[in-house]
Amino acid sequence: MEIKIGAHVSISGGFIKALDREEKLGGNCGQVFVHSPRVWKFGKLSEKEARNFREEYNKRGWGPILVHSNYLINLATPKPDLFKRSVETLKEELRRAKMLGMEYVVFHPGSHTGSGEEKGIQSIIQGLNMVKEVIDDNTKLLLENTAGKGTSLGKNVDQLSQMFEKSKLTFDEAGVCIDTCHAFSAGYNIHTEKGLDDFVEEFDSKIGWDNVKAIHLNDSKYSQGSEKDEHAHIGEGKIGEQGMENIVNHPRIKEKPLILETPVDKEKGYRENIEKVADLMKN
């Protein structure tokens, strides 16, 4: 079985440049932003540029490339203006992913900021129902599990399951991206073989493992249950080398695209982390 592994790369200089960057890292799948993640504004994307990218992407013969959504999006917010802007931004990201031929848009469900878990989840469900109209067979929406810091929602399988069960989205239109750092920080003991098996089994029974479309493969700077979202180099965080070895060799996990969002610093970057994952994988 060919392992799919890659990282989040920049689109600076154009979307095709992102493909070149991915290959230089040794990747064969990956992730990008389609606009700045910290502003609402979108730059121009012409049909010509999108067509050129689609052709080049298809020519390379690898993927998927995920689109990571804007960090400002918050479908759980009780503020009407922010909710409306979040829905419209997510719709536009889905439209652009479709133009570019990218298969998935992944987003964090949001934070209720004091309105409470129940109201926050209801707001997310309302937002998902509104976004549904721009989803088609070619581009799916992926909900990402969160670390649970503050009032963020989606930190456990039950919360994510509610969002699917009570919204109008089908699993032909949506799925999940699991972040290993977030799961660990949210309290799941995925660093142990049994804990990892239990986590996968719970996901399979409540959402369906087939509906997990990608893994954000990250170690965690902070301990299990910390609810802190800060990624570490593979094997150098609190999940640890043995924990990451357990994860990347789990038969249900290594069948998914593995996308790194590990730190990029003076000592090492994505290439070294991809190489580390290869070292940890058993033949």
Q: Which residue has the higher pLDDT, 1 or 183?
A: 183
Q: Tell me the two tokens of residue 39.
A: 């502003």
Query: Residue 152 belongs to what H/E stretch?
Result: strand 152-153
283 pLDDT exceeds 80?
no
Residues facing residue 143 across a β-bridge = 107, 176
Q: Tell me the two tokens of residue 181.
A: 């750092």
Report the share of the chain in percent with pLDDT over 70. 100
pTM: 0.97
Query: In whole angstroms, what is the distance from residue 12 CA to residue 81 CA?
Result: 30
For residue 198, what pLDDT is reported?
98
Mean pLDDT of 238-261: 98
* pLDDT tier at 2, thresholds 50, 70, 90: confident
Query: In whole angstroms, what is the distance from residue 238 CA to residue 191 CA?
Result: 9
Q: What is the pLDDT of residues 65-124, one digit of tens each?
A: 999 999 999 999 999 999 999 999 999 999 999 999 999 999 999 999 999 999 999 999
Region for 78 from its dihedrals, namely left if φ exceeds 0, alpha if ψ lies in -120 to 50, beta otherwise? alpha
Query: In whole angstroms, what is the distance from residue 248 CA to residue 190 CA?
Result: 11
- Taking the chain, what is the end-to-end CA distance rounded to the nearest angstrom? 10
Query: In whole angstroms, what is the distance from residue 109 CA to residue 160 CA?
Result: 9
- Indicate the DSSP class of residue 202: H
**Residues 18-41: b if buried by 16+ CB within 10 A, e if exposed:** bbebbeebebbbbbbbbbeeeeee
Query: In whole angstroms, what is the distance from residue 266 CA to residue 27 CA?
Result: 20
Return the CATH class of domain 5-280.
Answer: alpha beta
3-class SS of residue 105: strand
Output the CA angle 155-160-164, nearest 5 degrees. 165
Side-chain half-sphere exposure of 9, counting CA atoms within 13 A: 26
**Residues 69-78: b if buried by 16+ CB within 10 A, e if exposed:** bbeebbbbbe
Quick check: 164 and 136 in contact, CB under 8 A? Answer: no
Mean pLDDT of 215-227: 98
Query: In whole angstroms, what is the distance from residue 183 CA to residue 199 CA?
Result: 9
Domain boundaries, the chain: 5-280
For residue 267, what pLDDT is reported?
86
The mean of the pLDDT values for the chain is: 97
Quick check: 9 and 65 in contact, CB under 8 A? Answer: no
Q: What is the pLDDT of residues 122-176, one digit of tens each?
A: 999 999 999 999 998 899 999 999 999 999 999 999 999 999 999 999 999 999 9
